Amino acid sequence: MLDRDLYSQIFGVRPPWIVTDVKLDMKIQEVEVVVSLDPAHETTCPTCGKPAKRCDARRRRWRHLDTCQLKTILAADVPRLECPVHKVVQMRVPWAEENSRFTALFECLVIDWLLGTGGAIAPIAQQMRLSWEEVDGIKSRAVERGLARREPEETDQLCVDEMTFRRRHDYVTVVSSSIESRVLFVGDDRTQESLDGFYVGLSPEQRAAVTSVSMDMSAAYVASTRKHIPDADGKIAFDKFHVAKHLGDAVDKVRRAENKDLMAAGDTRLVRSKHLWLENPDNMSDERWSGHFASLRASRPRTARAWAMKETAMGL
């Protein structure tokens, strides 16, 4: 009886469940703890709570935390119940989540390790003697539980961006709150349908409450926002990084064309000046700003006018 009492404490098994047997198999380095339901316990439907009769039982097994480095399994004959409303349903057990083959304590340990490794699955799978898919399943269930507990997020000011992974071969669309700096949504790819997946999850009131959507100049993101957000054209804000890139490209296009014309006339003033026009003035040394670059700006070529327009835009 001592081993049953010990495992009742370790597993946290409480009535109407009781530990009825403990089996040790040293050949496969495994401990199996058998748990049974009190035959006199009145069962109820796990969905509606109404009384439900037992119709049969099926043996299920869950991986638990190791005992003295031995793989430990919790096994139980889980009744199937006949509910007058929901027909035949399986009784839920208190030590594991529905559809999981691991106890809650085992999943908690795996989740703690995932947090400590930044979500890396492979090393944890190897250490815990699990498959990659099993660890990923534990991770996915943890994310679902977290999302279910999440309170409604602030969606007035949104930020939409694309991110790459797997050596830049795959893309995801990320939506976050500009106010709270929290990720609200991650969707596969960077298409209009990717962002549609976020907007359709908002209520009409939430979509109407959106005041700004910061994004790059993706036509797909613009089309999705126009489709779902009222008065979208007055709420879309292209982020500064992409605006600066387009303006910088425009300045360089003017410089190349003007340099070609000047070179034809024997004027080399714009030769090797590309990076001067594209560099952030705040990052320039006093010597660079007041030296050659000052004389270039004062000579008033077309490039200097384009550069001045770019810098004016950056100050908005």
pLDDT one-digit tens code per residue, 254-273: 999 999 999 999 988 889 88
Chain segment 32-84, per-residue pLDDT in tens: 999 999 998 999 998 898 898 898 899 999 999 998 889 999 999 999 999 98
What one-character DSSP code corresponds to residue 301?
Answer: -
User: Which amino acid, 7?
Assistant: Y
- Structure tokens belonging to residue 307: 């550069």
Strand order through the sheet with 157-165 = 183-188, 170-177, 157-165, 212-215, 236-238
**What is the maximal distance between C-alpha atoms in the chain?**
103
Share of residues in the chain with pLDDT > 70 (%): 98
**Per-residue CA distances from 264 to 33, 73, 277, 298, 299 (Å):** 89, 83, 21, 21, 18
Question: What does the block give as tokens for 85?
Answer: 């409303």
| Confidence (pLDDT) at 2 | 66
Nearest-angstrom CA–CA distance, 252 and 243 = 14
pLDDT digits (tens, 9 = 90+) for 223-248: 999 999 999 999 999 988 888 899 99
Per-residue pLDDT band for 316 (boundaries 50, 70, 90) equals: confident
pLDDT recorded at residue 75 = 95
Evaluate whether 299 touches 267 at the Cβ level (below 8 Å): no
Map residue 180 onto helix, strand or coil: coil
pLDDT of residue 260: 92
Residue 1 scores a pLDDT above 60: no
Round to whole Å and give the CA distance between 62 and 280.
60
130: alpha, beta or left? (left if phi > 0; alpha if psi -120 to 50) = beta
Alpha-carbon distance 245 to 132, whole Å? 41
Residue with tokens 């049974």: 36
**Burial status of residue 8 (CB atoms within 10 A of its CB: 0-12, 13-18, 19 or more):** middle
> How many H helices and E strands in the chain?
12, 10
Q: Kindly report whether the global pTM for this prediction surpasses the value 0.75.
A: no
Measured between alpha carbons, how far is 109 from 54 in angstroms, rounded to an integer?
34
* Per-residue pLDDT tens over the stretch 162-221: 988 767 678 999 999 988 778 899 999 999 999 999 999 898 999 999 999 999 889 999
Q: What SS3 state is found at 204?
A: helix
**Which tokens belong to 221?**
């993101």
Rounded to whole angstroms, the Cα distance separating 151 from 30 reads 42
Pair 34, 19: CB distance under 8 Å: yes
Residues recorded for the chain: 316
Integer Cα distance of 137 and 124 in angstroms: 13
The separation between CA 261 and the C-alpha centre of its own chain, rounded to angstroms, equals 52
Tell me: the pLDDT tens digits for 205-229?
Answer: 999 999 999 998 899 999 999 999 9
Which phi and psi (to 5°) does residue 95 adopt?
Answer: -100, 0
User: Could you report how far apart the first and last alpha carbons of the chain are, in Å?
Assistant: 78
Rounded distance between C-alpha atoms, residue 278 and residue 313, angstroms: 14
How far from the centroid of its chain's Cα atoms is residue 287's Cα? 46
